[in-house]
Structure 1
Amino acid sequence: MTTPSINRIGKSTVPRTAISTSDEHSITIRGEDLCRDLIGHISFTDYFSFLVTGRKPTRAESMVLDATLVAIADHGMVPSVQASRMTYAAAPDALQGAVAAGILGCGSVILGASETAGRLFTEVDEAAKDVDLAAAASAVVGRWREAGRPVPGYGHSLHKQRDPRVDALFDVARKAGTSLRFVEIAEAVEAVIPAIVGKELKLNVSAAIPAVLLGTNFPLRALRGVPILARTAGLIAHLAEEAVNPSGFALSYQATRDLVYEGEPPKGPAE
């Protein structure tokens, strides 16, 4: 299911925003004075939520969002980190370029799967208005597979059982007292996968993030921004380390060390 764009060429000629404005003496964010009301009075997690949604989160909502940001900020020398470190090694004067290199790979496989999983869960939630949750999960997952689409947020190359971050995030949501409706949906999807896919695929963090955030009414359209924001923090940490303990060229060497050339050999000299 895709969300149609509200943008239409020629339909809007005046740029509009409800997020911020400024004048010579003040900066206004979502109707509040940045310097008087926000700086020193709000955490960055709450500020991020406020920027995205236009309202300050409750304590429970803040706990869940903060937990997701912590959970996804770093996971070792994953592809986004390798891309970032190798870019920095080639251009240490452009930190921003190295960060961007790591974030540009946010897609259906890495980091971007949270948004896609969220769309799957909302589709199951809608289908469950007519049938029980297990039947709804089976029907939706079946449709996705028939369309050749993977089930986003399930299976992990390292964590063959449940990604340990999943239960940690679910525990935070339970303790915070936020809605567990989408946690139930995530687990219902996990339960029907073996019969449809033919193998067990356990929940990973990319499914856990929307499962807990949708229970706080965090907007579906902004879900991909959560891992992007979190991973940006992790990349900056890796690049600060790269500056004093380089690995970028070593990573490049590792990639080419066992490289096998399968192209045509060079032609011999003309006779």
Structure 2
Amino acid sequence: MRIGKQDGAFTAIATSDADTITVRGHDLCAELIGKIDFTDYFWLLVTGTRPNDAQRAITNACMVAIAEHGLVPSVQASRMTLAAAPEAWQGAMAAGLLGMGSVVAGSSEVAGRYIAEVLEESRKPGADLHSAAHTSLEALKARRAKVPGLGHPQHSAGDPRANTLLALADELGVSGDHIACLRAIAEHAPAIMNRPLPINVSGAIPALILDAGWPLEAMKGIPLLARAAGLVAHLYEESQRSIGFIMSHHADLSIEYDGPPAASGDKNHSA
């Protein structure tokens, strides 16, 4: 059965023959292995071009900022999977990555798309960044929605990771329209939403990486790759010093059953 588009059967990423392996127009063995670092290679694989110094620095900084995030649900799922199946690292890694949605880790993609939408509105006739940000925030407030990229339950005075990333972007001369848009949103949000809403790391990362030239459609790849590194650390530790079953046991103790009681007086009940 034919499903979906059938024409355009091409890839520009890699090919090979009996003598060579070509990746994005480069000989893997002669030009890349031992001659390019992984961040450069990642950028090359995704975009087809090598990053410049600023792009490399921004990509490295963004991934370092979020590679490790503690025992968030995705990490717990990964560690408990390995505890139950210690031979299945691939399954445990998959369990962690599959748990990266719009609330945890994938929030960078949500914020990036929001920033891009506000920026697009600001470029319409008669609009600017501040008016577009204000209008968008009022719309979010009307439907009681959160502001993507702003606010933090612990760092209410400001997310230090976001502050460091934004300062780096300013220092490297990368700060452009996306960072300006994020800052405009952050300027108006507290008054409209009536609460402190500092820029968080999930807002800073897409603003930086988009201004550096990363494609919006590949935004989720940044936190996915970063968190994969963090998961490897957690899985290695889990293999050496397991806490997977401890977490599972504590969940049993912490979660109280509130369903109907067992019909213990029922003569037809069998254990």
C-alpha distance after superposition, 1:122-173 (max 9, x if no partner): 1121222232321111112233444554322222222222211001111221
How far apart are the structure 2 equivalents of 1:37 and 1:201? 47
Q: Secondary structure at the residue paired with 2:192?
A: helix
Residue matched to 2:68: 74
Asked if 1:101 is matched to 2:101, the reply is no
Asked if 1:161 is matched to 2:157, the reply is yes
Among residues 214, 233, 258, which one is paired with 2:254 in the alignment? 258
* Alignment CA distance shift 1:270-1:107 (3 Å): closer
Q: CA RMSD in A?
A: 1.7
How far apart are the structure 2 equivalents of 1:88 and 1:69? 24
1:209-228 to structure 2, matched below 5 A, reads: 209-228=205-224
Residue matched to 1:32: 26
1:168-207 to structure 2, matched below 5 A, reads: 168-207=164-203
How far apart are the structure 2 equivalents of 1:270 and 1:124? 62
Among residues 6, 9, 12, which one is paired with 2:6 in the alignment? 12
Residue matched to 2:108: 114
1:143-154 to structure 2, matched below 5 A, reads: 143-147=139-143, 149-154=145-150
Normalised to the residue count of structure 1, the TM-score between the two structures is: 0.92
Residue matched to 1:63: 57
How far apart are the structure 1 equivalents of 2:9 and 2:144? 39
Matched-pair identity in %: 48
How far off is 1:179 after superposition? 3.3
Q: Secondary structure at the residue paired with 1:21?
A: strand
* Alignment CA distance shift 1:14-1:184 (3 Å): closer
Aligned length: 264
How far off is 1:186 after superposition? 1.1
How far off is 1:23 after superposition? 1.3
Residue matched to 1:92: 86
Contact 1:61/1:176 (CA < 8 Å) preserved in 2?
A: no
Contact 1:141/1:196 (CA < 8 Å) preserved in 2?
A: yes
How far off is 1:176 after superposition? 1.8
Q: Secondary structure at the residue paired with 2:10?
A: coil
Q: Secondary structure at the residue paired with 1:93?
A: coil
Contact 1:123/1:140 (CA < 8 Å) preserved in 2?
A: no
How far apart are the structure 2 equivalents of 1:141 and 1:52? 33
C-alpha distance after superposition, 1:68-120 (max 9, x if no partner): 01111002112211111111100110001111111111111111111111111
Larger deviation, residues 176-185 vs 224-233: 176-185
How far apart are the structure 1 equivalents of 2:140 and 2:262? 46
Structure 2: unaligned runs, 5 residues or longer: none
* Alignment CA distance shift 1:9-1:138 (3 Å): farther
How far apart are the structure 2 equivalents of 1:88 and 1:208? 32
How far off is 1:14 after superposition? 5.2
Residue matched to 1:5: none
Contact 1:154/1:204 (CA < 8 Å) preserved in 2?
A: yes
Among residues 208, 213, 226, which one is paired with 1:230 in the alignment? 226
